[in-house]
Amino acid sequence: MLAAEQVDQESYLPESLGLMARDLYRALTQAIDARVARYGLAAHTCRYLALIHDFNGMTPKDLSTYLGVRSPTTLSALRTLEDKRLITRTRDADDGRKSRYKLTARGAEVEALVRESAVEVEMIAIRQLSPQQLKQFRSVIDLIRESLGDLSSSARISNFDQDAGDGASDPKGNNRERRSKHSVGMQNKPAES
């Protein structure tokens, strides 16, 4: 019998994957927030700083797509980083309508400190896990992500030609893979806009 078939409806809520994931996310975010507050930043803003560091010259659209957030959220974070003089905005050489963002020297210094704080929090979070448990945890998360991706994709597939190829089964392309990378050690550069 699969674990999904063993869910007890009455005890579901306290053990809900969604609540557990939210609580874990909240705990990690609060721990990072406590450490990065000394730089006048919040954890969600630090993600933008890390991406601009890793992929110099990103546009707001690149950032929104990569993080899976809406444009107003991205623009608000970018304004905060600009106000703190951690990033600069330049016009795209090929398309003057686009803005590209780069770290300032101060931004690079703060990004390194923030990244160190995030790694420190993650190391504290996993310190009681064996390497095997950590590998298994990541594997389980990947399986759940894949299942949910399949679920959300199946609702959209009806709008696509079944024979259209790989794009029909994953209309967002490789977005899930990009977002699954932690901001520390990201390796896949977003597509140029």
- Per-residue model confidence (pLDDT) at position 98: 92
> What tokens appear for 101 in the block?
């963002």
| pLDDT score recorded for residue 8 | 63
pTM of the model: 0.68
Q: Are 152 and 190 in contact (CB under 8 A)?
A: no
122 in Cβ contact with 133 (< 8 Å): no
In the chain, where are the structural domains located?
16-180
Distance in angstroms (rounded) separating the CA atoms of residues 140 and 177: 15
> What CATH number has the domain spanning 16-180?
1.10.10.10
Across the chain, which has 193 residues, the per-10-residue mean pLDDT values are 59 76 94 93 93 93 93 95 96 90 96 96 96 96 88 52 38 40 40 46
pLDDT for 16: 84
According to the model, what pLDDT value does residue 150 have?
A: 77
